[in-house]
Chain A
Amino acid sequence: VPVPAEPWTDDEQAWDLSSSELLAPARFALDMYNYGRAAGTRAVLGAIRGRVRRVGRGSLFSLEATVEEPLCNDPLVCPLPMSNKTMLCSFQVLDELGKHMLLRRDCGPVNTKVTEYGNETFSSFLPLLNKDPLPQDFSAEMATVFKHFMTTYNRTYKSREEAQWRFTVFTRNLIRAQKIQALDQGTAEYGITKFSDLTEEEFYTIYLNPVLQKEPGRKMSLAKSINDL
């Protein structure tokens, strides 16, 4: 159910989209949110409000919604701890001739999310996130970069939804790489690699080796140091 809009600055549209206008982008955003989840573990939408801006051939929807997570007692099935039952999410959905693309998804437990956005240092070094709504050419630029990534690493995706999801992950990973870059004390450069369309969980599960932490392994004799030798 749309909630009443708040007062706006002159150059931005009010959060006054009707529920019928919100339906398609909201449903798409929820599908992306629930992507990969088994039946019975999917979240549902609570309150929602939205606004739209015409961009190029399509419309850019900015949505703010509460998302109700189902009660879950199997941590392996539901990634969120049970206590975070209601999430506050903001989505950016681009609708071009009926085809939807999720440009941004930002969710947090209702009580923590507000503090996160209050973090000035966070916003200072990621200027891209400060622009709300996104600059008009942002999505076009990111799409170009993503296409170049797909060509470079010969990426193909099973479906349009999969490609849209990977685009979302790719965009999020660029921001993660920026953070790692900002915090590195050496001369390393971080950015797009062949793993840029994998979530952190996927990368860890597929490519890394949890056994190294869990098991001590067989005891070996200690090597003599070189000058002893």
Chain B
Amino acid sequence: APPEWDWRKKGAVTEVKDQGMCGSCWAFSVTGNVEGQWFLNRGTLLSLSEQELLDCDKMDKACFGGLPSNAYTAIKDLGGLETEDDYSYQGHVQACSFSAQRAKVYINDSLELSKNENKMAAWLAQKGPISVAINAFGMQFYRHGIAHPLRPLCSPWLIDHAVLLVGYGNRSNTPYWAIKNSWGSNWGEEGYYYLYRGSGACGVNTMASSAVVN
């Protein structure tokens, strides 16, 4: 893998979004991944709809939580995703009003990625931003810098928040993952969270996945 990478500099990442008072991080993590895949494979960056997943993905639980792997299946079964503008975010579940005619993107499949962080970095650099799920310990009060909680405090077994890896690198010899969160740009570093890379911190390597766009 290259020593550092940042898809934000290459136009593959939309603006930071805000899930509001709703446990819909899983939807934002997946749309962020699909936005990246669509940009890299079809050349256009579109901001995609999380509300469609909240309303129409019946395998998941909208604001009470969901799984990226289920969401990929829902996108395939529904026939694609509408854009954020066409199916705007409300922050609570409503009746499904998805229209296949309005879908602007589709996915063909989804993949589970390696738990080896070097391989994850190589995959990210080559293939695009990765959906991951982490233990959100400390994030309530995170302001900036590279977080590296003690392992017992940030157990990889207590995963409770889905986010998007958009890059990696080193800051004064401290390796990090650049993570796009969905709590608005007035949280963390302009909406981003930086987490120590290489030790499986907070379970960052336990649930990495991506959609496939042919």
Contacts and interface: CB of A to CB of B under 8 A. Distances in A.
A99 to B, nearest CB: 29
Contacts of B31: none
A177 to B, nearest CB: 4
Q: Interface size for chain A: under 10, 10 to 19, 20 to 34, or 35 or more residues?
A: 35 or more
A186 B148 contact: yes
Interface string B138-159: 1011111111111001000111
A177 B147 CA distance: 13
A53 to B, nearest CB: 31
Nearest to A210: B65
Given A180-B141, A218-B69, A210 B153 contact: no
B142 A223 contact: no
Contact of A210 (B127, B144, B160, B196): B160
B33 to A, nearest CB: 12
Query: Chain A interface mostly helix, strand, loop or mixed?
Result: loop
A190 B158 CA distance: 21
A211 B61 contact: yes
A221 B21 contact: no
Contact of A187 (B113, B157, B171): B171
B190 interface: no
A212 B160 contact: yes
Contacts of A219: 69, 112
Contacts of B61: 211
A195 B140 CA distance: 6
A209 B26 contact: yes
A226 B123 contact: yes
A213 B158 contact: yes
B119 A193 contact: no
Nearest to A213: B159
A195 B209 CA distance: 28
B126 A211 contact: no
Interface stretch (A25-33, A65-73, A197-205): A197-205
Interface in A165-183: 173, 176-177, 180, 183
Given A212-B207, A218-B70, A184 B144 contact: no
Nearest to A215: B67
Contacts of B183: 194, 207
21 contacts: A180-B138, A180-B153, A184-B147, A186-B147, A187-B171, A188-B138, A188-B148, A190-B142, A191-B141, A192-B141, A194-B183, A204-B160, A209-B26, A209-B161, A211-B64, A212-B133, A213-B159, A219-B69, A219-B112, A221-B112, A223-B114
